[in-house]
Amino acid sequence: MLKKVNLFFLVVLVSLTCAAQNKHNVVFILADDLGYGDIGVYGQKLIKTPNIDKLAANGIRFTQFYAGTSVCAPSRAALLTGKHTGHTPVRGNYEIQPEGQFPLADSVFTMAEMFRKAGYATGLFGKWGLGSPGSAGEPTQQGFDQFYGYNCQRQSHNFFPDHLWHNQQRVNLTNTTTVQPQYAPELIQEKALAFITTHSKKPFFLYLAYTLPHAALQLPAGDKAFEAYKKQFNEQPQTVPATWNGLGYQPQAYPRATYAAMVTRLDDYVGQVVKELKTLGIDKNTLIVFTSDNGPHREGGNQPEYFNSSGGFRGIKRDLYEGGIRVPMIVSWPALIKKARQSEFVGAAWDFLPTFAQLVNQPVPKNLDGISILPTLRNQEKQAQHDFLYWEFHEDGGRQAVRLGNWKGVRLNVKKDRHSPIQLYNLTVDPAEKKDISAAHPDVVKQIARIITREHIPNNDFQLLAVE
């Protein structure tokens, strides 16, 4: 009888082990303010990104994928909740002093909570921006077992901060405005790699919310790529103050070389993650997503036009034109994706939660705006398509946009006039959105207006539209 019991437990143990091994790890890499055209495989000519390019060379490169919106907090809220910004609980960069942003509520169901229910270890390393310390929106209250990085996106404007956070504990650093020995992205990367090693024997969801290449334009001393880019660009130093008072972005004498080196450093970090997965023998069973939270910035002295960071599209960060929201998106999954593919699927950040729910056999929450793109990843024919995509942006007078097939509608200044004119573009023939053809297609304009009216659900914490 004892032998039978022992045999039974052995069978159960083996079954559980096999089940764990059959679960795919997920590494989700979110760059910060990285433009569609900032990566080699998306047309970048000046900045070297060999590791990210290699992901695409062995994976799927999406050419019509969009961020949640055109700034940090609401874009990340859309990603984590599976809802567009007309429905997400966080719709703007609502700042809380002295540290943090408007929090996700306890009632919000996040992607991390979904993975945790599926038996995954969950870790976030990088920038959060969805709840101040001590609030219900802290990462450890929203499904993450481990968190290391910036709680506050405003704090992350300095890559040499005086503190970071480890779960709910403040980690004090020795950086000052003049002495900067601890580069936050490097500290965060070390913790992320350790998370992979620690959890290599069981399934994990790793959310790498890198702060690169967001402003400020800052690098640790001795960065080799920076020195190489200075020579490549023949960049002459700009005049900057001799000292920095700690307010705003730290001035940078070599903005072009610094931005390029920050993108290359991001690429290096991606390469380190892939190398660690391979060293541990779990690379083939790991699905990697690489994307960005919005279009490129012009902050801290950055010059996106010099690099063609928007990839030929109109606009940058904070715009709802294509340059502000169309982002690079690459999926690598060696166990399934054996050779490079390109996908024209029109999708957005809110598609990831239902995709991962299907991947790990979890129920898809109700009332999501996203659809699973797992059929596209598996190269299956029955891929659902969006009827439309909707965005809103709560700064600069308020903006709304809709993609409807190949039509793109953009409405500006809605805080002053909720019925302001809708600009209309045909992305098939005018992807740069140069010619407004709304007057020639009033029926399409009316259809987009109806979508805008229907999809914006009022939110008392984030007022968007002018009062009628």
At residue 381 the predicted structure's pLDDT band, cuts being 50, 70 and 90, is confident
End-to-end CA distance of the chain: 78
Structural domain including 45 reads: 24-386
User: CA 323, CA 329: separation in Å to the nearest integer?
Assistant: 14
CA nearest 92: which of 418, 395, 317?
395
Domain shared by 166 and 302, yes or no? yes
User: CA 118, CA 363: separation in Å to the nearest integer?
Assistant: 10
Q: What is the pLDDT of residues 172-198, one digit of tens each?
A: 999 999 999 999 999 999 999 999 999
The token pair that represents 271 in the structure block: 């390469």
In a domain, 18, yes or no: no
What is the structure's pLDDT at 42?
Answer: 98
pLDDT for residue 199 is more than 60: yes
**Burial letters 159-195, b for 16+ CB under 10 A, else e:** bbbeebbeeeeeeebebeeeebebbbbebbbebbbeb
User: CA 395, CA 44: separation in Å to the nearest integer?
Assistant: 29
Domain shared by 373 and 426, yes or no? no
Alpha-carbon 414 to chain mean position: 26
Q: How many CB atoms lie within 10 A of CB 429?
A: 9
Domain shared by 109 and 132, yes or no? yes
In a domain, 16, yes or no: no
Q: For a pLDDT cut of 90, what percent of the chain falls above it?
A: 94
Q: Phi and psi of 111, rounded to 5°? A: -60, -40
Using CA atoms, how far residue 419 sits from 226, 448, 450, in Å, is 48, 12, 11
What is the structure's pLDDT at 468?
Answer: 81
Q: What is the pLDDT of residues 138-171, one digit of tens each?
A: 999 999 999 999 999 999 999 999 999 999 999 9
What is the structure's pLDDT at 107?
Answer: 96
Alpha helices in 280-389 (DSSP H): 304-307, 322-325, 352-359, 374-377
In a domain, 467, yes or no: no
What is the structure's pLDDT at 218?
Answer: 98
In a domain, 128, yes or no: yes
Domain shared by 281 and 417, yes or no? no
**Burial letters 77-104, b for 16+ CB under 10 A, else e:** bbbbbbbbbbbbbbbbbebbeebbbbbb
The residues facing 326 across adjacent strands are 66
In a domain, 208, yes or no: yes
Domain shared by 160 and 93, yes or no? yes
Q: What CATH number is given to the structural domain containing 193? A: 3.40.720.10
Overall domain count for the chain:
2
Q: Which residue has the tokens 């690379």?
A: 283
Domain shared by 193 and 241, yes or no? yes
Domain shared by 332 and 412, yes or no? no
CB 124 within 8 A of CB 147: yes
CB 296 within 8 A of CB 310: yes
CA nearest 414: which of 134, 91, 169, 12?
91
Q: What CATH number is given to the structural domain containing 437? A: 3.30.1120.10
At residue 5 the predicted structure's pLDDT band, cuts being 50, 70 and 90, is very low
Domain end (from 386, 409, 440): 386
Q: What is the pLDDT of residues 104-131, one digit of tens each?
A: 999 999 999 999 999 999 999 999 999 9
Using CA atoms, how far residue 332 sits from 114, 340, 433, in Å, is 21, 9, 31
CB 393 within 8 A of CB 69: yes
The token pair that represents 157 in the structure block: 């404007």
pLDDT for residue 86 is more than 70: yes
Using CA atoms, how far residue 153 sits from 21, 157, 168, 202, 293, in Å, is 36, 7, 16, 31, 13
